[in-house]
Amino acid sequence: MPPGGPSEGTERARHATLRQAVSRLRDAADVTGIAGLAWTAPRWLIRREFLVTVKDLSGPLPRIPPSPDVAWRRLTNAELPGLLASSPTLSPAEVGRRQGEGQECWVGWVGETAAHWRWETDGEAYLPYLRRFVRPLKGDLWVADVYTHPSHRRRGLYTAATVMAMHRARAQGRTRLIGLIAGWNRPALRVAELRLQRAVVGSVGYWALGAWRPAIVTGSVRLDDGGRVFVPPRAGAPPTPWPA
């Protein structure tokens, strides 16, 4: 079989999947600790659930925190090798797939290191970790994926990037910022609710029971007839005051 044929491509895909799994495991251990991971991992292997958060952009937004040593900008083709070198969960093929869907990548650079990156979309997009497409409604901006380099964690980069995304989305006429947080990631949930004022409106995911993977959908989150995830209008909006 010639080099680069199906066998070689399959082997590369297996190695990429293994690298991503190891990276995700390290991330979980970094957040929960080894003891927490021993409790979290078995449950996560069976029940993959993500909390859906919504930020209504019509009200006051948090101030953008300072990050003076970080250069924030949209990814360019010239910077792609630097992004891949800093990102164990990305591959050239995956980046190409996301760009082909119209997703946009914003990166916070510290020197030549991609210290933080995020993929955002206002169009239909496939999320591999969810095994589903998301379907933004008019005015929605979805955060499809987020990663902070281990050497730059606990410096507020996630918070700064998310607040910048809120301001950028509102300036473009969007009305909601929607994101997903792994159910076990309590620190990220605290940041989302307390610092970023995002409301949890439900959850989505699946049961990993061999070949059978029934959906998990709770709260205001919905699946359309094609199985795509969307959040109905008004979910996450401020409560309507009672008439005087």
| 3-class SS of residue 110 | strand
Q: What is the pLDDT of residue 63?
A: 92
Q: Which residue has the higher pLDDT, 4 or 164?
A: 164
**What mean pLDDT is predicted for residues 45-49?**
89
* Amino acid found at 19: R
Whether 149 has a pLDDT exceeding 70, the answer reads yes
Q: How many CB atoms lie within 10 A of CB 213?
A: 13
The whole-number pLDDT of residue 189 equals 80
CA-to-CA separations, 164 to 33, 64, 76, 161, 205, in angstroms, rounded: 30, 6, 18, 5, 27
Q: Pairing mode, if any, of strands 140-148 and 176-182? A: parallel
Q: How many CB atoms lie within 10 A of CB 162?
A: 25
pLDDT (0 to 100) of residue 5: 38
Percentage of the residues of the chain whose pLDDT score is greater than 70? 80
Assess contact for 174 and 57: CB atoms under 8 A.
yes
DSSP-assigned letters across all residues of 206-238: EE-BTTB--EEEEET-EE-TTS-EE--TTTTSP
Question: Which tops the pLDDT comparison, 9 or 158?
Answer: 158
Least Cα distance to 64 among 138, 158, 136, 164 occurs for 164
The pLDDT assigned to 7 comes to 44
The chain-wide mean pLDDT, for the chain, equals 84
pLDDT at 153 over 50: yes
